[in-house]
Structures are given as structure tokens and as C-alpha cells.
Structure 1
Amino acid sequence: MTIDLFENSNHWVQKLEPILTKYKGRKHPLEYQNLYQLLVMVVLSAQDSDANINKIAPALFEVYPNIESIAVSNVDALFPYISMVRNFVTKANWLLEIAKTIQKDENIPLKMDGLIALKGIGRKSANVILRESKVPATGIIADLHVIRVAPRIGLISETKDGIKVEKQLLKVLPQNIWGEIGMSLSFLGRETCRPAPKCPECPIKEICNYYKKF
């Protein structure tokens, strides 16, 4: 890393400190109780809301308390418990394939390459699982909120591609904040930097390009 990039990275750490402090260690909005539940809920939440997944989860996990129980099930048996989830047919097949691959809860991988090798889990989902499991970050969560918020602030150039967003963030931010900055930006986007932003309430409005402009 060049000296200029190093200084720029540290400059951003200082600017983002208010949200890093505010949201540090806050649990993801998915109401999971263990790693197995987190894995399943992350898969189901793709293109759906966390609130909806939280709503259907208790009944699902009462019948399917672990990976083993899914591995011996089938799509027809799963459908009644996830039919309110967007793309539930596809996701049922993903969960069955994951369960048959992993077989047991203790076999759930906690490395990026192991997670993204599983059906239905991309880098965003893997980063969420690793962050919630307190594994040292090798990437940055780039969900739909981060995709909206990061360009607004001026951290990165605008793009709707989560992979490109993550790559830009990895270049501009130092590794020691990778584990928390994604969820910090996500929580900011959920609570304050909404599609119609509540700029006066924002703890980092003074460094935000969008706020300065409007």
C-alpha cells in the first residue's frame, strides 16, 4: 500500500468513527440462535426482508432444528414452512443441497472459500456469517443498504453491483475495520440513510457528499 493510500485509509477511519462506535458489535437483524439458524436464514433472506425471515423462522426451526433434519427432508416437506419467502422453490433446493453437502452443524465452514462453495451463498452472505461468528474479516459486507450509503457518503463511486462495491471498499478502507464497517454502514442505511434519508439525524452528515450537496 502506498503512503498516500495509507493516509487516505486512516482519514476515512476517522471520518467513519461515529458509526463504527455507535454500531460496534450490534447483532445482525436476523433473529438467529446459533450458526445453523444463521446459515439457513441468510440463504432465505436473499432478495427478501429480514423481518419476513424472522417471522417464518420459529415454525421452520421447530420442525428442522439442525442440518441433519434438512438433509433427510425433501422440497415438498420444506415448502409449507418457507412458502412465504421470495423464490422459495429455488431456496428449498439450495438448503437441501447445502444440508446434504455439510451433513452436520459442526461441519459448517467458517472460511470465505468454504462458504461461497455452498449453493446460494455469495460473498455478501458469507461476510455476514463470518462477522456474526466473530471470525477475522477477509471481506466487507455489501448489502443493499451499503450499496446505497457508501456512494452517497463519497466512499466509493456509484454502482448497484455488490461485488464491485465490496472491491472498492476493500481498496479504500484498512483491514482492521473490515469486520465492522459493513454492518455499520448497513445499520446507518436501515435507520437513517434511507432511500429518503433523514440527514439531520445522521452522525456523519458533516463528512457526507450527499448532505453537503443538498
Structure 2
Amino acid sequence: MKQIPIKNIELLKRLDSFATILYQLPHTFRSLPKPDITFATLKTLMADANFVGYPKTHNYQSYEGDVAFTRSGQYKKRLRTEKYFFLKYMQYGMGEHYQQHEKWYYDTLTVMPPRWGNTGWHNSKNKGRNYIRFIHNAGSGYSISVKEKKQVTVKDQRRGNMGAGNWTCVAGHMGKDGKTWFADHNTGSRPRAVIDVSIPERYSEEWDSAIKFITEY
């Protein structure tokens, strides 16, 4: 996992629009389950031959599926529209600036509650992917990746209106062999939005091209 500087102005505008809609949705924030992303837990999961690759625990509102209801039971049209066009933006090379590919998908689309929001340890076992994870947080939080004995931790950036604002971008590879583990935690007093777009691991050239475009003005 590595941190990617977001320099593309058009992308930042789209991300800001997406995050605004995510924060406007009705949320049910709970303090449980509490984060369990200790290294002791990771060691236990690593030893579990039956671990399927997905987080055993998490605490967030999930929106990557097709349905997001308001209290009145109606679809949130703005969310559906924003999800559709942002994914198409990725699939079509952000305006044909890099290789187009229909295999981009939302792995995670969430709003994490303050303090307790988290994604438990997982390794995408048997579903290898390359990911680009956009994180918006006006508070504090972090993402952590572990492969064998190498640990990488990236703290959420908070800059107000400067540069990329309160956006942090991390990118990484999680192989189907399950050797790379990931978790994250919202430690601050503000909600944390996460937009994770991924592509199967064999499409590394498309992933590299997307990262290059993100880092260019």
C-alpha cells in the first residue's frame, strides 16, 4: 500500500460531489462492534486456514450495493446517479485519459461513524485485486496494510480547503494468495467517507495508468 497525492482538479470535484451526497444520506451510527484490529487478532486470522478473505467485523454504513433507501422507502436518486457516473468515469479512463476497462467496480462504498468506524482485518483471499481507495475525513483516522513482516500505515490527511482538502488516497495490491492484509479505523469525531474502486489483479497496467492520471494536474 502507498499513499497517492491527488492532483487532478476534475477528479477532486467529482470526489467532493460524491462525498457530499454520501454524508447527506440517513445514517444509523452505532458504537458496536468496536474496532478489533490488533496484531493479536491479525495473528489469529493468519493462522485460520478457513478464513474466506472478507472482514469478520466492521462498523460502517455500506452503499456499494444497488439499494439505498431513505426513511420513506424511496431510492436515493442522487446516490444512484453519482455512483453510476463515478464508476463510468473510472471505467472510461477518466475521460479517455488512460486505458478504458469495464472491470472496475466498487469494493467498498461507506460512511464510517465517528470514533468506532472501522473495517476489520481482511486479505481478499481468492479474489485478488488492485485498489484505489479515496478517503474523506475532517477528523482523524488511518489505514494499515501488512504483508509478511512489512507494515505500512497511512494517516488520514486533513488540510481544510488547501490542496486536496480532506482527501487521502491509498493504492495497493491484494493478491488472491491472501498474503496481504488490510484494516482501517476512524478515530476522530467526524464521519469518514470511503470510496474504494478496484479492478482484478491481472489488470495492473490499467491500475498503474489510473494512478498516474490521479497524480497529474
TM-score (norm 1): 0.28
Q: Which of structures 1 and 2 has the bigger CA Rg?
A: 1
TM-score (norm 2): 0.28
Which fold has the larger relative contact order, with Cα–Cα distance below 8 Å and residues 6 or more apart in sequence?
Answer: 2
